[in-house]
Amino acid sequence: MAASTSCTNCGARLPTDTRFCPECGVRVMSGEGATAVEEVPPEETGSVPVHTVAAEPHYFGVAPPLALFGLAVGALVLAVVLLVAGKTIIGALLLVAAGIFAALFVAASRRLPDNAVARISRHAGHTVRDRTGFAVEAVSVHSTTRREVFRLRHEIAELAASRAEAARALGEAVYGGADDEAETARNRMGELDRAIAEKENEMTRVAAAANERIQQAQLQIQATAIVEPPNVPEPMPAPSEPPQPVTIPEPGPVPSEPPTPVPSPDPLPDPSPPQPEQPS
């Protein structure tokens, strides 16, 4: 039978291996491995400096990505040199080795944490991939454009030879006085001139399309630049005239009735002079 102790809080008897009192639920400090809970000192309740130590993992059996990347680039360059020199078998084997090293480099970069070596390796890999893609696109565009321009120049040369033959026929017809043949030769020369002009325009369009494709490929490998808009001040509104007080006319006197003319009495007739009396 296991010995029992008493709870320091309620005095109940406790088994030896228990951690909590079955009566009051207080943690029992029993055994050597028990965790001691202590109150935090009042002077440490505020902000306390924390020292963090990060452990760097060490991977065994994984080659560094930078070394794999260097091996891949070296094998690729050596393979190109050997292929140009005519050693096809060795060049092909080095190309396969470069592909294997590149695959191992990608796998190692994904497994390793995001450190400086992994970041530099990934950045170098992306740069080489973008540059290689641009080089392939440029070579493809130049080869395609060269073939198209060569074909158009050959067709223009044939049309020019036909035009020269038509001009010779026109000269003979005019010299011989054959008007119908001369008119036919003139029409033929006009058709050939229009065909030559169309071929030249098509050559210009091919060159413009090739330049556009190369510019698009260059934009894909250029770093994205953030251009801040210029600080152009907004135009201020034109100042308006300050409000003027409304002019209120002063009240004028009430107009009086216009004066009417005073009626003058009609003049009386002048008295006639006295007449002399007649003698009786």
- Say yes or no: 76 and 125 in one domain: no
pLDDT (tens digit per residue) in 132-166: 777 777 888 888 888 998 999 999 999 999 889 88
* Residue span of the structural domain in which 192 resides: 114-223
Q: Is the pLDDT of residue 30 over 80?
A: no
- Say yes or no: 80 and 144 in one domain: no
The C-alpha atoms of residue 100 and residue 218 are separated, in whole angstroms, by: 28
Q: Is the pLDDT of residue 1 over 50?
A: no
Compute the Cα dihedral for 44, 48, 51, 52 and give only its sign. Answer: positive
| Amino acid at site 243 | P
Flag whether 177 is in a domain. yes
pLDDT (tens digit per residue) in 219-256: 777 766 677 777 767 777 777 777 777 777 776 666 66
Q: Domain ends where: 93, 112, 131?
A: 112
Q: Is the pLDDT of residue 170 over 80?
A: yes
**pLDDT value of position 86:** 79
- Say yes or no: 142 and 183 in one domain: yes
Q: Domain ends where: 175, 190, 223?
A: 223
> Cα separations (Å) of 255 from 44, 248, 259?
99, 19, 12
**pLDDT value of position 2:** 44
**pLDDT value of position 60:** 56
Q: Is the pLDDT of residue 106 over 60?
A: yes
The C-alpha atoms of residue 153 and residue 161 are separated, in whole angstroms, by: 12
The C-alpha atoms of residue 228 and residue 56 are separated, in whole angstroms, by: 40
Short-list 154, 156, 254, 138, CA closest to 200: 156
Structure token digits, residue 10:
């309620």
Q: Domain ends where: 112, 129, 152?
A: 112
Q: Would you say the pTM of this structure is higher than 0.85?
A: no
Output 222 or 104, whichever has higher pLDDT.
Answer: 104
Residue 124 near residue 65 (C-beta atoms within 8 A) = no
